[in-house]
Amino acid sequence: MPNQFYHNNEIPERRLEDRYGNERQRELIKKTVHETLLSLGLEMDDPIELQKDFQHLREWREASNTLKSHGIMVVIGILLTGLLGAIWIGIKNTLGIHSIP
């Protein structure tokens, strides 16, 4: 099919029907999507609640990612502190500097 450009969003009626199908097809698609989401455990009866659930999941995911990145930084900080402490103790022992008890 050749690429056609329409000005001012004018699409011939035939194209709209081809694109969106007739009413029966739309109802079949709507029912299929509804049943698919229902089988996944998503209740479509209250779309606002469904949106809130998705927002909560997003916030939970973002919090999890933040916690993960902060946890990695803490582990790196602990390892680096231990390494620097070991180096300091080695330098003190090499130079013969001992702490007074």
Task: Name the helix (H) or strand (E) containing 62.
Answer: helix 47-95
- Delimit the domains of the chain by residue range: 1-45, 46-101
CB 68 within 8 A of CB 76: no
CB 7 within 8 A of CB 14: no
Q: Which residues contact 99 (CB under 8 A, 6 or more apart)?
A: 92
Residue 95, token pair as written in the block:
């130079």
Between 45 and 7, the more confident residue is: 45
3 has a pLDDT exceeding 70: no
Give pLDDT tens digits for 28-52. 998 998 899 889 888 878 889 889 9
Q: What is the pTM of this model?
A: 0.49
